Structure 1
């Protein structure tokens, strides 16, 4: 009950002073799981786009109060003030004072600040100074480390400013300057280039190949327009867009033929369009806003710090009052007892934890920066080490993001050079869309084929469209004949072919042959290959003849061209390495199941079963929970599917990483414990990520995992050592307070001892880590820490009591008049055992023999030991209420220290055997 009351009061305090983020719990995902993708991006926006798709151009121009020749400058300026800039909402960086507050606001600093205030109110200025020094060092070091890391990340992030060609009436030939916008007049006096952020609804814009679409627009005119929507849907192949919506599918917003979306790009062709929505009101912006509006999900690292913090705070809240009451009643001086209890509270607080954490993480960030990885959020490095599941997109991460021609065969699967020649001539001479498939054909052809195509001169062309799913070119052959060469989808090609070429013989295309050809094609599909068929027909040349769709009849089917988006060379090694380090890789992609299955087969992932997005929609919560555990490949997913999978894995007690680069990955990147993206990703994906890879190399993930585990090991090392040694000191204080008629150590002694110990721990981030500690994911275990603390802490008390007896009986420091001698003896022994225990508990091996600390930690240990001995023995002794010890004391001291180390090592073996070591 007392604990619940305390937590309620503390929670109110955190909430009042905006500290709840440090202690926040993961929000429930139930509502999000039941919300459709359309609802997530806004039903009103979806309705607006569908309405614009149905309207005629004249009606839409009238609705938008625009003009077919564009807005005039005055109207554009008025709209810009009304709608705002055409920019996506983004997370603003913290001001320096906000960042400083963020670095300060951890529970340990808050607790120490309260203790410093109490010390100041009781005129204990020495204690106030020491405690304040701890807080300042911890806060400033963390602030400096994070500021340096953030500055480096900002310097490396590439920011691109895009322009759009827009029709503006009355612009003439003048240059108009508006803030940083300069309108560059083109040959068409009404067509000018402006930064895309100044576009407004109603603007008429010109689009051409290579342009990023700057807003959600309705197409007015198009010519061979193909748009890549991979950033929105995950599909690598471009889609054709028209000025009129022709598809029967009017429910899927992304399938509207005459609507183009911000964040997509023009692959080929040209278009004129009217801007419908800008900025956060776009489809892209709605998703971006959905991501940035949500608070950053609490990660495994934050939960772990939270649990450990509460554990240590509860220990403090129990032990400090006991010390107060015991010393108050036995000594009778309640003011001194209060100060002593406050010192105990400080002693139990690992006040340097934030600094140690930040320093260790910053060291990891420096290491990763050498591997061309930008660390945006330091916490992510530890999560890298704790990660046991990595979810990754397929296109561009596991694969090369480059289509290659895999095979060129006849219909029976035999390699055929004539088929490649036909494909090359078709791709070379077409003037419409040269997509990834055409580029793959052109790159694959040999020099002989490239020379042979010179014998074929182009006569005409029949462009591609998605209704026919094929395209044709007509060429003049060396035999002075007209040859129509057509390539397209296998089913469509079979419909226009009457013959087939097998073993250089042309035979009629029968129904049995058609079935065989379809079967062969489907076998390629099952291997994850994209298949197109190619056919031809020769005829006499007719002067001034214009060829059309009706001429695509009676063709001879020559064979197949098959294509593959191949996996990266590094994928197999990286996945094996991650598996060896206990990380399961799961593929989450929007691409089709056949291509995904093939890629996964080649990189060594289990591929027997694939879960599709439509399967997920039909699953019960229990089935879904089991599916994300059991299967490793998920295909044809939308962004909400990806986010649901990541969230469910986290709820299944996994630490989850997500690697992606598209807008469709942003929500999952945000939800994951560690989001990983690449510098070529869309801006919202980079903003949602914690780490940004400057190179799409999966091998850096293995190095990141190892560095993350090394980082975590050193952080945990500090917590375990500090918590157990501090607890041991407090336990010794309780024993001494019960039997000794004076304070065993003054408050200033405890504070100085604690400060010196904390300074020695600054070197912990640079310590070595045993190889065994890097082999499996590491997690925060508050219960394990409590057990470790209670097990190893009292060991030091055995030798503290030995020191008490030594000082009491051997050196006769057994009266209030001799308490300074007693306190000096325990000051040195307590500091040395606390400092040396670092080397005992930093490894489960035998210290200095099987596992030696890094040089910085060895040096710091030696320096602190010398300072600890110097304070009582040197000229500053009286200032700290200490006194020099007899030289015979230093004969007993090594014996005590050696016995302490031997007993700790023996008990450590017992602990490892029973509980393990983390």
Structure 2
């Protein structure tokens, strides 16, 4: 439903009337009826693809276009079998690519169902928390700091409401909103009594009326917002760059092979056409065309595996980033400690339980709700504590809130009691102390300067016991139209709210597990340094650098000094959102792959900047939107699971690249050299394509293969230099044994063209399948157990290979002939020696050429 200009203008009662609603909201039955009429409150995701788009995207592959060209050439020359064979390869490649991408899209769609944005809605006169997709026009919704506005809404009432509308307007400056503002136009910038879908509540709270949902909102009508693709990860970018380089190399080699064979007059029928088809088939055969499928299969299966462990990836490539992570920055609340903060005491400066502190802390509070309490964790804990004590604040009337911000580190609330007005502030002790001139102790008010040391000793004592301390102060204020932070002065210090957050029982073992995986943990907390140090002591985390680095310390550091500090220290306390961001930026600048775990609105900048932003399903909407991974269970142990799975995926992708590139390099060199002395094309185009098709089957199962322990022990990074060395070293070994077979067949056994091609086809294909069991691991092959799927695929393809060569009419169709026992014995001997040479070469390669890859 779309809002008309009239719904923003005039008395709110007109908007209620137009939407057939009221201050009491809608009933469940009415909301259900409207949902059937208006549909879900959702905007189509343009980044996702339908099945038809996925199908057509398969034809964007350069390798597939080469096959299409080969089909036309073969058909033009009248070679029906080769034409059908190439068509079969095209259809097979399209079907495989389509189903893998379609499966990936379905997997992402399934994952999206796990994480939702929720809204507090008034239904049947009761506040409920619902999936925001269930909102309908006429609903009453309550907003608080950290929420992403779920629909276009007219403000009914608000307190200190500040909205960031940059997603719609491009302006990063916060916009103050209230119900009494009169719109000056019809654009979001001109409507100050409305909140719009996709924008962010920075501060304050509001009660609103939903006027537009889904595609009819300002956000929904801005289609360009959803057309942008997710940027490539560092790993994907390097794989793509490497693939482009290989593709150019393959084309250059194919052109060289074509020219040599053509000018030497090779070919059974026509040297020109036979050489062209051979070169094109060779280009397809030696290119790592299964790499996209390997990556898709690996990431899709990995994402579904992690989903079972309640780790949800918003984009599949985030799993790779998680595996490469070597530093994890996290707050302590809910990750190292129990999920919820607990209220313990409300105390005055005589260390007695204080009803006044309880009352004022309850009033100066942005949390909302009674049964379901929503807000930041500290306000929620205080509100729940007051409700548990059956507090009655009905004699007070809230007049205006002065929202919390991370510069002041406190919030204010103006309340009326009879004809008197009081300004109450609550926040970090040092911040509240700075706004006070007096304190109440022993029933009397005295200057705070005389007893500042007493207050600080109390704070230190509570913090050493592990309590988080929130200070409370007040003063009487005169009547005025608008209050601001500048009124927070000459306050009377009352006392403290004491909160506790004990460590999780499993956190010590989890930290040890992360360290064993090469992931260093850094605590980045807004809490007091003594409280943070007490937690580190409780969980056995050694504080590096000899002390907890505080926000005040960091604020004095220059950029280069900060780079050294983030390496030196592992525990940071009393840090601001900007400092969290600077810590993440500095770690990344030092070459680390950084994960950041946070759940508050203040964590969003660091979450966006980190290589891996991790949040939880109960986090603020802003934090969830900024993150890459969402945990349904706030538990560090599942992050360790994700790290291991990411490294397994990286290991298997790297395994495929190393093996395929070395085998293909060997094939390129062999074909190039043999073209100079063989009087015929060494393998027909149809045989090359069949070889390529059969050899790719076991390779697809590499995606689910077991990996060596060294891949899991430490973060892995893409190493082009190592890949090139591997490709040259093992490609050369492959070439030696290929040329050995070719030399014996041609010069000693005088094999005819058909026998030669059959023998080389058999040896080439069997060597590719068998040698993978050596190259899949850095250790002796018998010490690394391959997956059942890989073994089964290899056995199946070997059986199929002999069936193709020996059974009619398939053998005749592909121009194969039964091989005599001497040639079969020769092939078996060469394969055995080749495997042994590869095992020995592997030892030398990992000892001298690439020692960093050793287990």
Matched, 1:322 2:256: yes
Structure 1 counterpart of 2:783, from 829, 850, 857: 850
Give how far 1:836 is off. 0.8
Which residue of the other structure, out of 514, 527, 530, is the alignment partner of 2:469?
Answer: 530
SS at match of 1:374: strand
Distance 1:71 1:425, change over 3 A: closer
Contact 2:346 2:355 survives alignment (8 Å): no
Partners of 1:839 and 1:76 lie apart in 2 by 70
Match of 1:341 in 2: 279
The question of 1:724 aligning with 2:662 is answered: yes
Structure 1 residues 649-699: Cα deviation after superposition (integer angstroms, max 9, x where no partner): 656554444444456656665565444333334556545544332222221
1:731 Cα deviation (Å)?
1.6
Q: Deviations over 1:364-404 (max 9, x none)?
A: 12211211233343222222212234455666555556332
- State the match for 2:727 in structure 1: 789
Match of 1:916 in 2: 851
Task: Measure how far apart 1:471 and its partner are.
Answer: 10
1:562 counterpart = 2:498: yes
Query: Which of 693, 699, 723 is the equivalent residue of 2:637?
Result: 699
- Answer whether contact 1:840 1:901 (CA < 8 A) is retained: yes
Mapped pair 1:771 → 2:729: no
The match for 1:66 is: 10
Distance 1:118 1:162 in 2: 65
Q: Is the 8 A contact 2:594 2:611 kept in 1?
A: yes
Which of residues 568, 575, 582 is equivalent to 1:635? 575
Larger Rg: 1
Question: In 2, distance between residues paired with 1:329 and 1:895?
Answer: 35
Task: Establish whether residue 897 from structure 1 lines up as the match of residue 831 from structure 2.
Answer: yes
SS for the counterpart of 2:630 is strand
Aligned to 2:798: 865
Q: Is the 8 A contact 2:656 2:699 kept in 1?
A: yes
Q: Distance in 2 between matches of 1:140 and 1:703?
A: 30
Aligned partners of 1:582 and 1:777 also within 8 Å: yes
Residues 1:419 and 2:315 aligned together: no
Looking at structure 1, the residues matched to 535 and 194 of structure 2 have their Cα atoms a distance apart, in angstroms, of: 34
Q: Pick from 116, 125, 130: which aligns with 2:83?
A: 125
Cα 1:804–1:195 change in 2 (3 A) is closer
Q: 1:98 aligns with which of 29, 50, 53?
A: 53
In the alignment, is residue 608 of structure 1 matched against residue 563 of structure 2?
no
Q: Taking structure 1 as the reference length, what is the TM-score of the superposition?
A: 0.67
Equivalent of 1:515 in 452, 464, 478: 452
Query: For 1:422-461, what aligned pairs fall within 5 Å after superposition?
Result: 440=381
Q: Is the 8 A contact 2:120 2:143 kept in 1?
A: no
Match of 2:814 in 1: 880
Secondary structure, aligned partner of 1:777: coil
Q: Name the CA shift for 1:866/1:704 in 2 (closer, same or farther; >3 Å).
A: same
Query: Residues 856, 229 of structure 1: CA spacing in aligned structure 2 closer, same or farther, 3 A cutoff?
Result: same
Question: Structure 2 residue aligned with 1:734, among 672, 680, 684?
Answer: 672
Change (3 A) 1:242 1:134: closer
Q: Any unmatched runs of 5+ in structure 1?
A: 1-60, 78-83, 166-183, 188-193, 233-239, 246-256, 475-485, 536-554
Aligned equivalents of 1:752 and 1:102: distance in 2? 24
Cα distance 1:217–1:396, how it changes in 2: closer, same or farther (>3 A)?
farther
SS of residue matched to 1:676: strand
Question: What is aligned with 2:513?
Answer: 577
Q: Provide closer, same or farther for how the CA distance between residues 859 and 460 of structure 1 changes in structure 2, counting only shifts above 3 A.
A: closer
> What is the SS of the residue equivalent to 1:377?
coil
Distance 2:311 2:179 in 1: 43
Offset at residue 145 of structure 1 (A): 2.3
1:798 aligns with 2:744: no
Cα distance change of structure 1 residues 227 and 526 upon mapping to structure 2, 3 Å threshold: farther
The aligned counterpart of 2:757 is 823
**Inter-partner Cα distance in structure 2 for 1:439 and 1:63:** 34
In structure 2, distance between residues paired with 1:162 and 1:439: 15
Deviations 1:139-165 (A, max 9, x none): 123224213313422443446577579
Equivalent residue runs for 1:212-291 within 5 Å: none
Note if 1:907 corresponds to 2:841.
Answer: yes
Equivalents in 1 of 2:434, 2:622: separation in Å? 39
Distance in 2 separating the partners of 1:894 and 1:831 = 12
Q: Alpha-carbon deviation of 1:807?
A: 2.0
Please say if residues 617 and 631 of structure 2, whose CA atoms lie closer than 8 Å, have aligned partners that are also in contact: yes
TM-score (norm 2): 0.72
Deviations 1:246-291 (A, max 9, x none): xxxxxxxxxxx999998778999987x8999999999x979x9998
Q: Is the 8 A contact 1:611 1:631 kept in 2?
A: no
Q: How does 1:316-715 map to 2 (within 5 A)?
A: 316-332=250-266, 333-392=271-330, 400=338, 402-405=340-343, 411=349, 418-419=352-353, 440=381, 491=433, 500=441, 514-523=451-460, 529-532=468-471, 560-564=496-500, 568-569=504-505, 572-585=508-521, 591=526, 601=536, 604=541, 608-610=548-550, 615=555, 633=572, 635-637=575-577, 653-661=591-599, 669=607, 672-681=610-619, 686=624, 689-715=627-653
Deviation at 1:707, TM superposition (A): 0.7
For 2:331 and 2:196, the matched residues in 1 are separated by 22
CA distance in structure 1 between the aligned counterparts of 2:471 and 2:836, rounded to whole angstroms:
74
Q: 1:833 to 1:692 in 2, by over 3 A?
A: same
Counterpart of 1:304 in structure 2 is 238
Contact kept, 8 Å, 1:500 with 1:556, in 2: the verdict is no
Please report how far the alpha carbon of residue 790 of structure 1 lies from its aligned counterpart in structure 2 after TM superposition.
0.9
**In 2: Cα distance, 1:301 partner to 1:570 partner:** 33
Count of aligned positions? 755
Change beyond 3 A, Cα 1:674–1:103: farther
Q: 1:812, CA displacement in angstroms?
A: 3.0
Indicate which of 100, 104, 126 corresponds to 1:146: 104
Alpha-carbon distance in 2 for matches of 1:645, 1:116: 57
- Report the CA distance shift for 1:196/1:145 in structure 2 as closer, same or farther (over 3 A): closer
* CA–CA separation in structure 1 for the residues paired with 2:107 and 2:336: 28
Separation of aligned partners in 1, 2:76 and 2:274: 13
Change (3 A) 1:560 1:365: closer
1:819, distance to aligned residue in structure 2 (A): 1.4
Query: Is the CA contact 2:661–2:727 (under 8 Å) kept in the aligned structure 1?
Result: yes
CA offset digits 1:724-747 (Å, max 9, x no partner): 112112222223222222222222
C-alpha contact 2:86 2:689 (8 A) present in aligned 1 = no
- Is contact 1:419-1:560 (8 Å) kept? no
Conserved 8 A contact 1:404-1:563: yes
The one-character-per-residue Cα deviations of 1:44-79 (angstroms, maximum 9, x if unpaired) are xxxxxxxxxxxxxxxxx99974236444756999xx
**Unaligned regions of 5+ residues in structure 2, if any?**
22-37, 127-132, 167-175, 182-191, 369-374, 403-410, 418-423, 475-490
Q: Structure 2 vs 1, CA of residues 713 and 72 (structure 1 numbering), >3 Å: closer, same or farther?
A: closer
Q: Give 1:518 deviation, angstroms.
A: 2.5
